[in-house]
Structure formats: structure tokens, C-alpha cells
Structure 1
């Protein structure tokens, strides 16, 4: 009897809804509901785009980064709500839920698999890009940033307010704050200060009932979940309250190439041994990339090393000469500059480029098709394996990898401090990234990505083979748009969230028990008795 009770206590009560609904989705009722639930003070008409609007296609494609998934003519797409006020978000949630229409939420559009703007069932895109308010409080070293604000806008606002404050987040200025931060927010200050979610102290979230949760009503458990668990499984992130961090007035950066002929493989192997052990003020990225010669048939591989140091060039030179002299860094390779100017450096803008470019928003449809994957490395990759990597890379037309170092404070933050679990024990994280312009080349490129990913399997994390949520990868597991199978969700959930998945599922069951907020890689609502 006791054994039976023990088994029952471990039974998972799956609360995820299936694709069998009592009523069918009703687009017209949804649109009428939106207009009824928004006030004259904040009318929704100017924020609402349907297939009948002349600007519908441009609204869709501007924030659809991956051309592989861009489909503005999708008949399952009921509408785009480019929310201009919190009430538009609330109305969209309530009206979509009552009319059996799914929501896809996007802020900056950097969803590698397009899951924020595609679905196989009727859906509406809730586009947050017009909610972009940013308020900086220098005295408290804090800020409120709306989900649709970009990192470039946030960085610019911080720099305008203070020369010695910053925020740890990604290097791409067009990242939307909503999705980027909720997935973790990995960036070049992480070895000193951790990642974005380590500095989130509050948020404004619209829940499945259309209510705004914040402060005490948000709850510590939900705040924990959306810091690394992805906001789209739990609600709609409207804005974040973040702590800012101190940086010196002068930082130093460099970028240096090493070709295979110059011993790039040997230098990169040594980089693996030292990059996670360098002073935490130094972030040194290694970037193997395909190099095209004068004619397309002339291909090679080079490794570009990017560094950012919270200090002077003199101190950086001393560290490099001691820890990685093989790189051969010279004083003329190093540039001293302010933190805001380093954000331009990471985008390869020439020195002297105006800061205003960080405010640029997308104006043209995405022109490239691409695929990304990720890995976490816990022991050095042998040189002979690197040689095999280079051979596969030569079969691409445009491919690069980012080897992003760990160590520093990331080794000191517990894996369950936030929902983002990938902390201690990693030497570095890999991003694989391939681009192509011809849709006919898609299968070949996906095959090559699979080949290089399979080659790496013995040399990266295992049981599970971990993946980074912000580098969305449908290959690690997925569910259909209208169904959330818990066993399938565990496959991708354990890779993204490791030991934090169980707690995430329980929080999901508490705040969204009927599983309204769901998509192909969402977290299912499950209680463990």
C-alpha cells in the first residue's frame, strides 16, 4: 500500500490543454472584442493590422529576421496587434483567449526559429516594438525598460544619463528587451556581472486573465521563472525593472585575426585552457569563421579574437602577455574607449561612428535565411577535432562560430538562482551560425549544420546535451502549435533548463493552468503531488 501511495505522489497531473476545443476560433469576434475592450483614450485601431491593411506585409516582415519562416500571407494569421499601450496587450490576451486564438509574442524579432511569428493554428501576433519607454534613475542605479525597447536604445539612454553605468546584455543593438532578457540575456559583461536576468528586480506582466502583475502581485516565483525561463510561456512581459552596474570611464577592446597558416588552431586550443580563468574584468571571445578569397572557390578558415576589458590598455597588455602570448597582441591593436563606444566596436563599426546608429530600427524585410545551434563545453576540444571542424566549415558559403568564455562570477551564481541554469562548470558556450540567400540551398546548409553538430557531440555537455534558449533551436525538440505533450516538452525543456524544469512547470501550472500561453517549445503546466 505504501508503495502505491508513493507512486501516486509522483504522478504528474498534466493540465496542458489539447487541440480539441468546444468552440472554433472566430476571427471576426476577436476583432470586435479588441475594439470593445479598448478605450477611446487609447484606441486600438492604429495598432491593429489585418490582411486588408496596405501596411500589413511591411509590419510583418520588419520584425521577421529569418527569411526561412517569413510568411505574411499565412491565412492562419488573424491579425497583428502592434500594441501602443498596456491596455492593448490586455485586450489582445482576453480576446484571443475567449475566441480560441493563440498568441505569438515578439519584441525585437530575433527568434531564430520564427516561433514568435508563425503557427499552424489560428493566431495573432502581439508585437511589442512600439512599447519602448525607458526611464533611468541614476541615483538608484536602476531603470525601467519596456519590452519593445532595443538594447541599442537602452544602452544609449544609460550613456546619456551616466558615463559609468551599464547593463549586462547582448552585443546586438536590435535585440528586443522582452525576449532577450527573459531568455537570459548573455553578453560581454557576464564574467564580471553575470547576465541580464541576474539584474532584474521587478517586471510588469500581463497574465492569462489579462491582469497586470507587478511588485507584490507578481510573486517571487513568477519573477524567478521569467528570468531565464522565457516570458512567452507565462504571460506577456510589458516592462522590466533592472539594476545597472558600474563600469570604469575607460575600457579597452581589441580584435585580432589568426589564420590557419598563422597557427589559429594552436592559439585556439590554448584559448580554451585560459579564457575562463582570466580576470573576470576580461571577456575574450574566439570566433572561427569562413573566409572567402578573391574568388568563391578560394575558402579558408580564420579565428577572430574579440576582447573587452574593464580597464586600461596597459593592464590588458600585461594580462595577455602572461596568459596568452601566442595571440601576439600589440599595443596598437588595443583601443581605449567609453563603454557606449564598445557597443559600436562589437558591431564592427569604424571608430568615430555616431552613437545614433544604435537607435536604428529594421526598415527592410529580412534578406537572409539562417540556422543557429548551441552547445556548452566543459573540457577542451582536441586539436584533431578542430581540424575536422574546419573541413566541414569549408563546405558552407557563409558560416561562423562564437566561442564565448565562461568563468568569473558565472562560476559563483547557483544554477537555481534564476531559471537560467547554465552556470558553473562550463569552459565556454558555442553558437553555430550559417547563412544563405537561396532557398534551394536550405537542405544542404541544414545538413552541414547537423554534420558539425554531430561531430561535436562527444566533446560537449551530455545527459542532457544542453542548449541556450535565446539561440532557439527546433531540433532539440518541439510540440505542434495546438498541442503540448508533456513528455516531448521534457525533452527540450531539460536541455534548455536542466534541473530547473520541474519548478518551471509547477509555476506554469499556478499562473496559467489552462495553458493559454503555449507555442512549439513552451513549458507545460504540470503539478507534482
Structure 2
């Protein structure tokens, strides 16, 4: 992979500014995406196209995914194009005793599909329809639909959107089940907050596979299954084939689809402030992190004029050779329809740089149409980035000086076997935090930042050292709480869509707090009851799976 120039951060537009911030982290443009799933050609049997190791398509399916550390090598892939095909494929697997894994966009950060115990992978990448369902007064979107395609179709067809993630190639199947957040979430909530119904292929106690639809209607006897798919994580309860979306505050009995989901802002403003590495000593590094954290502590309520602001503070690891690039970039993406939007954005960037010293670079403020800005942001993020390890944290407060010192030490170290490493703090809060913690399975509803800790490399020989480096960084950042962000005054656990098996490993989680609480908090017992009701045989399981109250 060709890594973009680290000096590209001086680009002077919003989306180029945001893109430069991410591109400096080594993320290539959107054209270098993960290998798409081959177009299925159904074979007899009705359970989707079967691809076995002798099939020339097998290699592409085996390596499909964003993390090249993992390769799926099951007995077969089943390429699913309809719900009925999924029912038959699951039924066949249960009857033959084969372990199942399910994937849609193939963006899982841990080795779920590639687990050697998995003998059958159901690939839903070809289920990508987006349409309005007049009967349910909701937008039906299939599990394999990728986010940018969803945004474009919703916007072009009806002028509406979902507040989902910024990656173009993430598919809805796992994204919604884990909650889903992105650049519009501070103003519109999580993507799962707009979920009206979900279709799931489940297996009953007798081993019979069937498809059911669960809605958020209070009178729906399947409502708990709907609830579990608003943050309970993918691959836990069955095979999600379709979602339906209608905002909970949409007008009652309204049949106009343009009023059933939120409208995106028609204009997006953005800019960036970058801090050259030569100016960034330990004191300055602390100051930037302190400024950023305190700003979000003050400005993440639902009534702040900054609910339309999405920002990423990106801290870069020192490259092993070549141009050292910036130490820190802070890029922004802001609702530009407010009359004071540019004034607010400039004030934000000044606050981040306040008292830091040196010569920070402020890019020009730029405006673009929403869909164009979304494409640029995705283009800066998505790529076939090779091998990586990722961890996450919900933050109720910004990192303190001791934690900043840990990050400074690790990110400025040499000898780390990485191509690119970074720690990013994303804006959180706003409308997300207005939803009661038990209303959905996304229980983290009072954080102000979401943090991502990531190491990326290309050489398979560097796997062990590169994973170990990130494990130690994360452990030392959260040293006072047992190596993980235990729910408490400053932190609030981890994001299930950024799954990390180390949370279940006592070598790296010494807190005494189980991984289930880190990811689900008080929602976990309720998720276990849903699991027992809808997957009593524990057919759908993986390393961080919800377990039923009683496995039969």
C-alpha cells in the first residue's frame, strides 16, 4: 500500500483538511477499499451460492475484510441474497452440526469469521437494497448495504439520512446491531435510535430455523429482540437480514417518507488545526489533550450550540523513518446551516490551540454540500489498510496529564513495529445522551468522547510485537483502573463495534470487572434473557458473544 505524504495535512479545505488529518494517519482514498463480495449466482438447494475451497472465488472471499491479520477458511461460504436463502443455510448448518459465522461488510476488528471453529460463513454482502416500505411506513435497508450507498440513496430519493458511521464500506448488518455512531450523532443520536424493526433468522430449541420480524411497538411480543439489536452487538441472536428505519419522533400516522427520518444539514463547514512534531514537547502535548477534553466536558450537552460539531483529535505515532509529519491534527465537520456556524467553528479551533505554543497550522474554513463532505470524510478513512489492532473507550472526561504522558511516551517511541499508529478522540454526547440508558441496548449515554487506540502494520512477521505494543499502551493509559476503562467517574467502558478480545483476558484486564460490563453495563442480564429466548441452543456465538442464561 502506498502511504500518502504526511505533509498532506497542510491542505486548506474542510474535507481536504479532514482527509489530510486521516490521510496523515496512513489511510488511503476510498478507491482502495476492501475486496467486495462476488456477485452470487444461486445454485440448487435454495440456501444461497455455495463456494468451497476448490472454487476460484474462494480466495477472494477468504481474504475479504478490512483487517488482513485474519483469513477465513471455512468448509464453505454461502452467498446469501434473500431471507429465505439465509433460513435454509442456517437450517442446513444446524442439521449438519457446523459452526456458523455471519458477515455483511467484513469490518469486524476481531477474528469472528476466521475462527478455525467456524465451518460455514454466511456472507450477506450482496443483500444491499434500500427502499421505502409504505406498509410499515419505514425505510427498509438490507444488512449488506454499505453506509455511503445508503446515504446517497436516502438523500437522492427522499432527502433524509441516518446518523451512522463515517466509513463508506461498513455495512449495516453489524453496524446497527452495535449501535452505530458518526458525524451527525451529536445532533441526531445513534443510528440505532432510529431503528423501527429488524428481521432476524433465528433457531429455536428444536433446531428449526425461521425468520421473524421484531419491532419497537410496545405491543409487539418480539419487542425484546428488536431492543437487543439496538446495541447488543452482531452475531449474537441470529442472522440479521433486513432493518426498517423510522425516527421515534416522526409524526404519528404520517405517510410522507420525507418526514420519517431526519434531514441532513445541506451544508457542512470544516477546518483543521495541526501541530508540527518539532513544536510538540511533553508540556505542549499535555496542553492540547487538556484543552480538547475540557472543551468537550463543557460543550456536550443537548442544548449546546455545538451539537452540530463532529471533531477528531488525532495523535500520531512517530514513523520509523522519513518525514516525521504532524504530532497532532484536530479536524472538524460541522453543520453549516447555523448563521453563526463559522464563528463557532473558529472559536473551537482557537480553544484547542490555546496556550500550546509553537506554530500551529490553521486551515481555511471551507463549506461543501453534505453528501460531498461525507464522501470526502469517508475517502480519507477507508482503505485496505493491512494488519491492525484496535481498542476503544468511552470517556466521561478527557484524559488527565498522567495519561497524556503515557501517550506521549508511546507515540514518540522508536522501534515500534508499525507502519502507522494513532490515538483518536471523537466528539460524543449531545443528543446521544438524551436517550435513557435502558431504552436501547446501547447503554453508554453520558460520555463526551469516544477514544480509539490503533496500531497498523503490513508485515505478518510483526504481528506479535505490534499487537503487544498497543496492548501495553492501552494498559498503561488505564493503569489506575486495571488496564481497562472501567465505568466510573472518568470512563464508561468500551464500544462493542470495536471489539477487543483482550477485554476478556485476565492478563490485560486486571480490574476484576468482566468484559460484559465494559461493553454492555447493566444491559447485559437483559441481553442474556433475549439470547435464551431466541437462541436457546447457542448457535450464534463467538469470542465476545452474549451467552444465554442457561445454555442447553
TM bin, normalised by shorter chain, reads 0.7 to 0.9
Quick check: 1:468 aligned with 2:479? no
Alpha-carbon distance between aligned partners in 2 of 1:504 and 1:137, rounded to the nearest angstrom: 29
Number of residue pairs matched by the alignment = 457
2:26 equivalent in structure 1? none
1:213 equivalent in structure 2? 212
2:369 equivalent in structure 1? 338
**Which segment drifts farther, 233-242 or 296-305?**
296-305
Structure 1 residue runs without a partner (length 5+): 1-33, 350-357, 480-489
Structure 2 residue runs without a partner (length 5+): 1-41, 247-260, 354-359, 507-512
2:435 equivalent in structure 1? 413
1:519 equivalent in structure 2? 542
SS, match of residue 526 in structure 1: coil
User: Is the Cα–Cα contact under 8 Å of residues 284 and 405 in structure 1 kept in the other structure?
Assistant: yes
Quick check: 1:317 aligned with 2:312? no
TM-score (norm 1): 0.79
* Equivalent residues in 2 for 1:33-432, closer than 5 Å: 38=46, 44=48, 47-61=49-63, 63-71=64-72, 74=73, 77-115=74-112, 117-136=113-132, 142-163=138-159, 165-208=160-203, 209-215=208-214, 219-243=222-246, 244-260=261-277, 261=279, 263=284, 265-276=286-297, 277=299, 279-290=306-317, 292=319, 296=321, 299=324, 302-312=327-337, 315-327=340-352, 333-348=364-379, 368-395=386-413, 396=416, 397=418, 398-424=420-446, 426-432=447-453
- CA drift of 1:516 comes to 1.3
- CA drift of 1:421 comes to 0.9
CA-atom RMSD in angstroms: 3.1
- CA drift of 1:462 comes to 1.8
Distance 1:332 1:405, change over 3 A: closer
User: Is the Cα–Cα contact under 8 Å of residues 334 and 341 in structure 2 kept in the other structure?
Assistant: yes
Alpha-carbon distance between aligned partners in 2 of 1:385 and 1:507, rounded to the nearest angstrom: 38
Alpha-carbon distance between aligned partners in 1 of 2:269 and 2:514, rounded to the nearest angstrom: 42
Alpha-carbon distance between aligned partners in 2 of 1:94 and 1:178, rounded to the nearest angstrom: 20
User: Is the Cα–Cα contact under 8 Å of residues 486 and 518 in structure 2 kept in the other structure?
Assistant: no
SS, match of residue 340 in structure 2: helix
Alpha-carbon distance between aligned partners in 1 of 2:54 and 2:347, rounded to the nearest angstrom: 64
Cα deviation digits, residues 193-227 of structure 1 (max 9, x gap) = 11111010011111113211115677110000011
SS, match of residue 333 in structure 1: coil
SS, match of residue 527 in structure 2: helix
SS, match of residue 271 in structure 1: helix
**Which segment drifts farther, 448-457 or 388-397?**
388-397
User: Is the Cα–Cα contact under 8 Å of residues 192 and 408 in structure 1 kept in the other structure?
Assistant: yes
SS, match of residue 373 in structure 1: strand
User: Is the Cα–Cα contact under 8 Å of residues 168 and 194 in structure 1 kept in the other structure?
Assistant: yes
Distance 1:36 1:326, change over 3 A: closer
